[in-house]
Amino acid sequence: MKEKKFEFQYEVYDDVGELKKEDAELLAKARAVTKQAYAPYSNFFVGAVAKLKNGQTVSGTNQENASYPVGICAERVLLGNAATNYPGISIDTLAISYDSKDVPSDHPISPCGMCRQALLEYETRTENPIRVILAGQQGKIYVVSTIKFLLPFAFTPEELL
């Protein structure tokens, strides 16, 4: 038997004032766009904003539905917007934030498993690592250099060859 270990590094900032100006601006947009989320059932409003390699930005918010499986997460809404409006353009940096009527929005959250898989597919097909900024409306901020770090043992297109 062999034992292996998976580790990765990420940056931790105490607040938005420590970020580079460009990252702080992207995070501010993600925090603001949470107000456009449709989350009447969970009261958990997620916003995602990406800066593309061509300098454009795209956004997405979670969209819930009374039939729970029909809802879609902010990250996948964003990916659809990016792929449709800017085909073939890779994402440089993605900021994800949330707000809630029920719990404090004072720490980073990470995308769900389905979104991690979708983000990894986008990263793979555009052949560009996606930096991810994770934060609530206030408090600590995490910056991860690639989606690959958020999904070890990922199912990739190579599995189908």
Is there a catalytic annotation at residue 75?
yes
Whether residue 25 is contained in a domain is answered as yes
Query: Cα–Cα distance between 17 and 1 in angstroms, integer?
Result: 47
The pLDDT tens digits for 32-79 are: 999 999 999 999 999 999 999 999 999 999 999 999 889 999 999 999
Number of domains making up the chain:
1
Whether residue 79 is contained in a domain is answered as yes
Contact 110, 133 (CB under 8 A): no
What is the CATH number for 77?
3.40.140.10
Whether residue 136 is contained in a domain is answered as yes
pLDDT mean over 23-30:
98
Whether residue 80 is contained in a domain is answered as yes
Domain that holds residue 57: 11-153
Q: 137 is written with which tokens?
A: 């409306």
Whether residue 159 is contained in a domain is answered as no
Residue 81 to residues 39, 66, 69, 140: CA-CA distances in angstroms? 19, 23, 20, 28
Q: 50 is written with which tokens?
A: 């990406």
The pLDDT tens digits for 137-157 are: 999 999 999 999 999 999 988
Whether residue 28 is contained in a domain is answered as yes
Predicted pLDDT of residue 157: 85
Strands (E), the chain: 11-13, 44-52, 57-61, 91-100, 131-135, 141-144
Alpha-carbon torsion angle 154, 46, 56, 54, nearest 10? -10
Catalytic residue among 75, 123, 127, 159: 75
Whether residue 6 is contained in a domain is answered as no
Whether residue 62 is contained in a domain is answered as yes
Strands of the 57-61 sheet, one edge to the other: 11-13, 141-144, 131-135, 91-100, 44-52, 57-61
Can you state the angle between helices 113-125 and 74-85, rounded to 10 degrees?
Answer: 20
- Total-model pTM: 0.96
